[in-house]
Structure 1
Amino acid sequence: MSQNTTSPTNPGHANTWYAFSADDKRVRETLRGEHDADVCIIGAGFTGISAALQLAETGFKVIVLEGDRIGFGASGRNGGQIVNGYSRDLETIAKRYGQDKANALGKMSLEGGAIIRERVAKYGIQCDLVDGGFFAAFTDKQIREMAHVKAHWEKHGHTGLEMVSKADVGKYVKADRYAGGMIDRLGGHIQPLNLVLGEAAAVESLGGNIFENSRVIDLTMGANPIVKTAEGQVTAKYVLVCGNAYLGSMLPKITDKMMPVSSQVMATEPLDKALIEELLPANYCVEDANYVLDYYRRTSDNRLLYGGGIGYGGQDPANLTGVIRPNMLKTFPQLKDAKIDFAWSGNFALTLTRIPHMGRLADNVYFSHGDSGHGVTTTHLLGKILGEAVNGHASRFDVWSTLTAYPFPGGKTFRVPLTVLGAWWYGMRDKLGI
């Protein structure tokens, strides 16, 4: 079983099931020498590649610089779930930022999933796209909260939600743990590394260039910003910073308002087809309603992919399966003898508000990060919005960039223990059902 080691079949990636099953294992060349572009994008994850594709489709000359491999970070390691909306519900957004901002974000809240489906169809991307998601509730309190969120979300046009009684949970997951839940017919799941690789190939088909193993070491602002790597540089009219949790410390104005957080994932050996279909009969992805939640789904080769756990500051437990496997067995005791073939972790960028942070470092240098655990759909939306802003249509970007972001209390020294304390409190509330 692998545990956060390097993939033997896909060099430069963590040894995940995604790297193992990736369709495109080509290593792109490293940036060398001097280059020019209309737009230079830092980071080849979902945000950067989504922006690159939006720009390439409208005729911009794009260069993407990736410090490791395409999809190396959270974009190629996440649970592979298409979860609509944001990490905070629209009612919370309205209370915090005002109803006008909530209405604007509500209009965009389903767009990320739509962008994914549109691009999969347009470019023939093979990423195991399956429709349907199920939110599982442990308590009556969580069911009431889901019903409240459903009613509020429907005011913003989401018509794909349906409450599920305890008697009907078995249509979606054969587990005795849940008191009911809610389905989202506009949710779904994908092989995320194949998705971002397919989108990257689409960028290249339109004339864009993507350089791997080309970590940015300096960004010089100006009328034509210069982005430098160890062996080359790009002079551009615009720069988009899309490094998220893997950006490093080069741009503290961005990184001081985010915290890397790790989540752990594992994949079983291929299971008997009849068994996996019995456990998840509708082939929906599942996530539960706890503060520190579990999430799981079927894969195309009949594995159970199960994730959960959290490590503030990007810290990983010594034994990944020791964290996740007990929860998997609480859900599916039938799998007590199932072998775990892969176990890995990946970092996502968390903001204090749990709302993505967008803005400008200069008139021609934009950034987006901090999707806070809802990145598969949100990154696609915000990448597209970055592309729109460069193309002179910044109205949607301006909505996001005016949402105030704050540094974590305690700074880098105390942000982790203070956040852990808060997570402990909400975790206790989940356990006590209050």
Structure 2
Amino acid sequence: MPMDPSHRLREDPALPPSWYAASTAPRAPLPPLDGDTQVDVAILGAGYTGLSAALELAARGLRVVVLEACRIGWGASGRNGGQVLSGYGCEVETLEALVGTDDARTLFDFSRQGVQLVRERIDRHRIDCHWVPGHASVPIRPRQARTLRQSMDALVDRYDYPVQWWDQPTLRAQLDSPRYLGAMFDPLGGHLHPLAYAHGLADAALQAGVVIHEQTPVLELLRHPRPSLRTATGTVHAAHVLLAGNAWLDDIAPELERHVMPVGTYIGATPVLGAERARALIRNDMAVSDTGLVLDYFRLSHDHRVLFGGGASYSSLPPPGLARVMQRRLWTVFPQLQGVPLDYLWGGYVDITTHRAPHWGRLTPDIYFAQGFSGHGVAAANLAGQVIAEAIAGQAGRLDVFERIPRRPFPGGRLMRMPLLVATMALVRLRDLVA
């Protein structure tokens, strides 16, 4: 969804149009699969989960092939908001209700390891992805502020997590917006250029001996006698398979599809504002997300734009008047940008679960999957790849904890699950508006 062509950078034509694609150098394509091959592990999807697992497995000496239907980072890994956060798509209270307090604490600690894993990989592999520390969760309404304070107290008291409460004056000293009632500030979170990070992760995997085939859609998962991934140009036979397609599995494993819902979300980028004007908006350069049901999330780019995300679509089409809606939301947060257009506007799918908790595990003893990142996947997807690689290598302790999260399909089947979700979210949004 490109906007005004003035001020635009040259985009990589092999990727969906976005500021991310425009601000990274085009890459030479990797060759599609040609013929049959046999390896230790076959992976569907060259996003964070698949690349993370491939890198871990190659370090253990296993032969790994990754099949990507389009290009590296083509899906959510190259289009997301770039916010790197502990936790998952649900609150810790939801985790406690699902698995109990002990496992909830263990899962949250795993998520902290996911953030640290991203940081370590950036340093170890010298990935130039513009990492910046700091994240603020900001409430708009009093009900949201009360809930956020309760969540913060739980994180500090029961999870030993070093978040801080900022009152309005403290927040306003860092974020020049009149919209918010305070903030829960997380010094361990942060943000990065997601597509540049995906490319860096792929380069590290390639250097470790992983084979990646782009433009190679998987047509069928063959389960017997050994798992295989069949494409139009060949089949990869393996001892183990990892399905890391998330919202883009396309009936490869129908029993997984009913557990997630693909929901569209959108991001815009302003023109270059200049360093002084941009830093006047977010003085400490942190990432920010509000706590609404359909949240806004935003941050500064390394070239001094505002990257502003939000909205939701429950069909394959963007909402009507998307550009006007996104600009209006941006101007509501930053009235001083009234009249500033969006140079870029793009979107993609997040794969949500009914409870917003992750859905990782095994279809069979030899077929693994990870999905359901629920808009919280940069750190979690890196973690998922590492956890599943450990399980394939014979150390399944961490994956076993994730498999204890109850698996709840969306009600209504394939035809009715979307209308039921829309109706439920409308009721929750109404509650927020009157609170």
The interval holding the TM-score normalised by the smaller chain is over 0.9
Cα 1:348–1:418 change in 2 (3 A) is same
CA contact (8 A) 1:227 1:234 kept: yes
CA contact (8 A) 1:133 1:286 kept: yes
Alpha-carbon offset, residue 431 of structure 1: 1.9
User: Equivalent residue of 1:32, what SS?
Assistant: coil
User: Equivalent residue of 1:199, what SS?
Assistant: helix
Q: Confirm whether residue 56 of structure 1 aligns to residue 61 of structure 2.
A: no
* Matching residue of 1:94: 96
Alignment of 1:376-395 (within 5 A): 376-395=378-397
| Cα RMSD, aligned residues only | 1.8
The letter of the residue matching 2:181 is A
Alignment of 1:5-404 (within 5 A): 9-23=11-25, 25-404=27-406
The letter of the residue matching 1:375 is G
User: Equivalent residue of 2:292, what SS?
Assistant: coil
User: Equivalent residue of 1:167, what SS?
Assistant: helix
* Matching residue of 2:426: 424
**1 CA distance for matches of 2:17 and 2:173?**
33
What is the TM-score normalised by the length of structure 2? 0.96
The letter of the residue matching 2:260 is M
The letter of the residue matching 1:232 is G
The letter of the residue matching 1:281 is R
Post-superposition Cα deviations, 1:297-320, rounded to whole Å, max 9, x if no partner, equal 000000100000011244421433
Post-superposition Cα deviations, 1:362-396, rounded to whole Å, max 9, x if no partner, equal 21111110111111111111111010000100011
Structure 1 runs (4+) deviating above 6 angstroms are none
CA contact (8 A) 2:12 2:26 kept: no
* Matching residue of 2:2: 2
Residue ranges of structure 1 left out of the alignment (5+ in a row): none
**1 CA distance for matches of 2:214 and 2:321?**
30
Deviates more, 1:363-372 or 1:216-225: 216-225
The letter of the residue matching 2:2 is S
**2 CA distance for matches of 1:338 and 1:213?**
38
CA contact (8 A) 2:65 2:211 kept: yes
Cα 1:114–1:429 change in 2 (3 A) is same
CA contact (8 A) 1:408 1:415 kept: yes
Alpha-carbon offset, residue 158 of structure 1: 4.1
Alpha-carbon offset, residue 235 of structure 1: 1.1
**2 CA distance for matches of 1:424 and 1:323?**
18
Deviates more, 1:126-135 or 1:422-431: 422-431
User: Equivalent residue of 2:46, what SS?
Assistant: coil
Alpha-carbon offset, residue 222 of structure 1: 2.9
**2 CA distance for matches of 1:242 and 1:372?**
14
CA contact (8 A) 1:320 1:344 kept: no
Total equivalences in the alignment: 432
**1 CA distance for matches of 2:162 and 2:49?**
26
The letter of the residue matching 1:42 is L
**2 CA distance for matches of 1:163 and 1:388?**
37
**2 CA distance for matches of 1:245 and 1:126?**
27
Deviates more, 1:194-203 or 1:21-30: 21-30
User: Equivalent residue of 2:152, what SS?
Assistant: helix
Q: Confirm whether residue 413 of structure 1 aligns to residue 415 of structure 2.
A: yes
CA contact (8 A) 1:147 1:163 kept: yes
Identity of aligned residues (%): 36
User: Equivalent residue of 1:340, what SS?
Assistant: coil
**2 CA distance for matches of 1:158 and 1:12?**
44
CA contact (8 A) 1:353 1:405 kept: no
Alpha-carbon offset, residue 397 of structure 1: 0.7
Deviates more, 1:158-167 or 1:94-103: 94-103
**1 CA distance for matches of 2:28 and 2:337?**
35
CA contact (8 A) 1:87 1:371 kept: yes
**2 CA distance for matches of 1:272 and 1:66?**
37
**2 CA distance for matches of 1:76 and 1:59?**
28
**2 CA distance for matches of 1:47 and 1:37?**
19
User: Equivalent residue of 2:36, what SS?
Assistant: strand
The letter of the residue matching 1:79 is G
**2 CA distance for matches of 1:9 and 1:260?**
26
CA contact (8 A) 1:8 1:15 kept: no
Deviates more, 1:62-71 or 1:351-360: 351-360
Post-superposition Cα deviations, 1:87-111, rounded to whole Å, max 9, x if no partner, equal 1112221122222321221221211
The letter of the residue matching 2:73 is G
Alpha-carbon offset, residue 8 of structure 1: 6.7
**2 CA distance for matches of 1:140 and 1:406?**
31
What is the TM-score normalised by the length of structure 1? 0.96
Cα 1:201–1:273 change in 2 (3 A) is same
CA contact (8 A) 2:44 2:50 kept: yes
Post-superposition Cα deviations, 1:2-61, rounded to whole Å, max 9, x if no partner, equal 06x9x9731331101111112452211111111221111001111111111111122111
CA contact (8 A) 1:223 1:237 kept: no
Cα 1:238–1:369 change in 2 (3 A) is same
**2 CA distance for matches of 1:332 and 1:26?**
39
The letter of the residue matching 1:136 is V
